[in-house]
């Protein structure tokens, strides 16, 4: 490793200006004390009579009580979806179907601010992300797929597309409303009805979406939203009245689902875990690349299935990159997600914080060198300092297993072939990043990455028109774009 680097000017971060608090107001947010299940167009009490609390992970305060759906409730929801499919939705002209979806998109835009604030309160992500990334993408996703409803015959040449029927959809807590949009919008556009189960730690925006759907006049039962834990999801997967399962979540649970539907005629798409390589060549614009690394792993506290969690740095620029990375780490503002200046918010749950802490210990035990931001963490709530592990071996568990938190592992390489080999040496294959100024090298690398999404000189970008999904154990099927339609059609 060359030490020939010019003196990198060191910024002093521990003195001088500090930011005044700039909290987003929650005064315009309307939250009920208790949320029931959204089945057949109405909010109905759970058969179990049971409710659970959803809390704000940034201060551990209770936000609302939410219904816990049991097997009987799942059955009710699936039947409502089936009735809506048979009686209304599959008979509706595609143009009209599309107009309902457009209307939902517009109503989401109208209530974007409220949705963004609730997303941040319930999930812990910084308000600037839910405001500028999540909610705009949600509205755009509905708007994009609305237009497909009456054009499906153009998407798959020489085929006559048909809806599948009732789709059961299970989504995670990292992008709660965005994942709901990724699931519901294409399903409806293709003429299916749905039963959606949001994650137990982040049910509120999905339930707000249920209110929007109710107001939109969408026929009863076309979208049903039921809340609960893993048992509720399992009941949905195993329900015989489901034609399709769409799941986003961990690879472990994805495998259980794939096994559970064996021998049935249920179609499945899985969007599972990742352990993406983010590769920095010595000819990359280093300052931009450092921003890309930061965005790749600390965006949404690293709760991103496609997070750039394995950094590969070419040896000749290793010291420069690491120094700049550490400097940049110190400038990240960690804390209150509702503050408009916050870069890294709260970890989604106590359980997830424990999981991340477990990996921090594993990394240290494996002999990697840990560097953490010097930031102070709030006294309440679930927070984790942005962390970098250097001196990491390819075989280290922290370099092999998905941590799903703000934890970056750093490895080095010398040649293109070496880094291609190392980057692909994982059971996952969701995403990858490449930083270099040389065009032909970009395309060599992006072609050779065994991953479904590859960012060149950028990272963590999403768009309704861009298909997203994994290779290998990161799942199968695509969401977004023309290709995303295939998950909800048969021929």
Partner 1 sequence: MATSTIKKKTAAKAPKATEVKSNSSTTQRLEVLKTYKLYVGGQFPRTESGRYYLATNKKGEQLANICLSSRKDFRDAVGAARGAQKGWASKAANNRGQILYRIAEMLEGRRAQFIDELLKQDSTKAQAEAEVNTAIDRLIYYAGWCDKYQQLFSSVNPVASSHFNFSVPEPTGVIAAIAPQNDSLLGLVSVIAPVIAGGNTIIVLASENKPLCSITFAEVINSSDVPGGVVNILTGKPSELATQFASHMDVNAIIFCEDDELIQKDIQEKASLNVKRVMIYKEVNWNTEQGESPYFILDTQEIKTTWHPIESIGSGGGKY
> Radius of gyration over alpha carbons of the chain, in Å?
23
Residue 230 backbone dihedrals phi, psi, to 5 degrees: -55, -35
Of 68, 119, 190, 305, which residue is the catalytic one? 305
Spatial CB neighbours of 1, under 8 Å, sequence gap ≥ 6: 315, 316, 318, 319, 412
173: helix, coil or strand? coil
Q: Report if residue 263 touches partner 1, rule: CB under 8 A.
A: yes
Helical residues (DSSP H) of 332-388, grouped into ranges: 350-365
Residues from 460 through 489 that contact partner 1 (CB under 8 A) = 461, 463, 465-469, 471-476, 478, 481-483
Task: Return the residue of 71, 214, 238, 446 that touches partner 1, per CB under 8 A.
Answer: 446
Task: Return the residue of 228, 254, 296, 381 that touches partner 1, per CB under 8 A.
Answer: 254
Q: How far is the CB of 157 from partner 1 (least distance, A)?
A: 7
Residue 81 backbone dihedrals phi, psi, to 5 degrees: -65, -40
Distance CA 481, CA 183 (A): 13
Task: Return the residue of 3, 6, 28, 259 that touches partner 1, per CB under 8 A.
Answer: 259
Of 271, 320, 402, 473, which residue is the catalytic one? 271
Distances (CA, A) of 332 to 37, 291, 314, 342: 39, 11, 25, 8
Query: Of 23-31, 65-73, 157-165, 350-358, which segment contacts partner 1 by CB under 8 A?
Result: 157-165
Q: Is 315 a catalytic residue?
A: no
What mask of x and - would describe binding to partner 1 in positions 83 to 122, judged by CB under 8 A?
----------------------------------------
Distances (CA, A) of 463 to 136, 141, 145, 170, 407: 10, 8, 12, 21, 25
Q: Report if residue 396 touches partner 1, rule: CB under 8 A.
A: no
- Closer to partner 1 at the Cβ: 63 or 245? 245
Which residue in 248, 306, 311 sits closest to 280, CA to CA?
A: 311
218-235 burial, b at 16+ Cβ within 10 Å, e below that, comes to bebbbbbbbbbeeebbbb
Distance CA 363, CA 389 (A): 7
DSSP H or E run through 431: strand 431-435
Q: How far is the CB of 186 from partner 1 (least distance, A)?
A: 15
Q: Report if residue 451 touches partner 1, rule: CB under 8 A.
A: yes
- Closer to partner 1 at the Cβ: 233 or 469? 469
Q: Counting runs of H as helices and runs of E as strands, what totals does the chain give?
A: 15, 20
Distance of CA 451 to the CA centre of its chain: 17
- Closer to partner 1 at the Cβ: 388 or 420? 420
Q: Is 375 a catalytic residue?
A: no
Q: Report if residue 262 touches partner 1, rule: CB under 8 A.
A: yes
Q: Report if residue 287 touches partner 1, rule: CB under 8 A.
A: no
Task: Return the residue of 241, 416, 456, 490 that touches partner 1, per CB under 8 A.
Answer: 456
Task: Return the residue of 208, 455, 487, 488 that touches partner 1, per CB under 8 A.
Answer: 455
Q: How far is the CB of 42 from partner 1 (least distance, A)?
A: 33
Residues from 326 through 385 that contact partner 1 (CB under 8 A) = none
Catalytic sites, residue numbers = 271, 305
Footprint on this chain of partner 1 (rule: CB under 8 A): 132, 136-137, 140, 157-159, 251, 254-256, 258-259, 261-263, 270, 272, 427, 442, 446-447, 451-458, 461, 463, 465-469, 471-476, 478, 481-483, 491
């Amino acid at each position: 490793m060359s030490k020939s680097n010019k003196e990198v000017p060191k910024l002093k971060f521990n003195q001088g200006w500090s930011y005044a608090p700039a909290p987003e107001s929650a005064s315009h947010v309307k939250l009920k004390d208790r949320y029931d299940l959204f089945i057949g167009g109405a909010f109905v009490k759970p058969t179990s009579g049971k409710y659970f609390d959803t809390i704000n992970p940034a201060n551990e305060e209770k936000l609302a009580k939410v219904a816990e759906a049991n097997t009987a409730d799942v059955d009710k929801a699936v039947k409502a979806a089936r009735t809506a499919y048979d009686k209304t939705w599959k008979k509706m002209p595609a143009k009209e179907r599309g107009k309902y979806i457009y209307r939902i998109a517009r109503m989401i835009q109208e209530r974007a601010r409220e949705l963004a604030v609730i997303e941040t309160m319930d999930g812990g992500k910084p308000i600037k992300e839910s405001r500028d990334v999540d909610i705009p993408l949600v509205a755009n996703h509905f708007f994009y797929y609305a237009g497909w409803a009456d054009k499906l015959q153009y998407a798959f040449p020489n085929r006559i597309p048909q809806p599948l029927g009732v789709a059961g959809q299970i989504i995670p807590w990292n992008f709660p409303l965005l994942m709901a949009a990724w699931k519901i919008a294409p399903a409806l556009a293709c003429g299916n009805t749905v039963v959606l189960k949001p994650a137990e730690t982040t049910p509120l925006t999905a339930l707000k979406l249920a209110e929007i759907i109710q107001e939109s006049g969408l026929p009863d039962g076309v979208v049903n939203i039921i809340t609960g834990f893993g048992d509720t999801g399992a009941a949905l997967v195993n329900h015989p009245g489901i034609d399709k399962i769409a799941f986003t979540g961990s690879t472990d649970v994805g495998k259980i689902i794939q096994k559970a539907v064996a021998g049935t005629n249920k179609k499945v798409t899985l969007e599972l875990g990742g352990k993406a390589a983010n590769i920095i060549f010595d000819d990359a614009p280093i300052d931009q690349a450092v921003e890309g690394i930061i965005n790749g792993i600390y965006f949404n506290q690293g709760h991103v299935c496609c997070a750039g969690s394995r950094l590969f740095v070419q040896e000749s620029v290793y010291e420069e990159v690491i120094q700049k990375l550490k400097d940049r780490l110190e400038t990240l503002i960690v804390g209150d997600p509702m503050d408009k200046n916050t870069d890294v918010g709260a970890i989604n749950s106590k359980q997830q914080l424990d999981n991340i802490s477990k990996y921090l210990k594993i990394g240290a035990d494996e002999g990697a060198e840990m560097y953490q931001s010097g930031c102070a963490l709030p006294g309440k709530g679930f927070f984790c300092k942005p962390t970098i592990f250097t001196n990491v071996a390819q075989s280290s568990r922290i370099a092999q297993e998905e941590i799903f938190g703000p934890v970056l592992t750093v490895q080095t390489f010398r040649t293109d072939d070496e880094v291609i080999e190392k980057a692909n040496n994982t059971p996952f294959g969701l995403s990858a990043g490449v930083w270099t100024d040389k065009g032909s090298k970009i395309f060599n690398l992006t072609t050779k990455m065994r991953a479904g999404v590859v960012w060149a000189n950028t990272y963590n970008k999403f768009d309704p028109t861009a298909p997203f999904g994994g290779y290998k154990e990161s799942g199968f099927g695509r969401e977004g774009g023309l290709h995303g339609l295939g998950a909800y059609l048969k021929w």
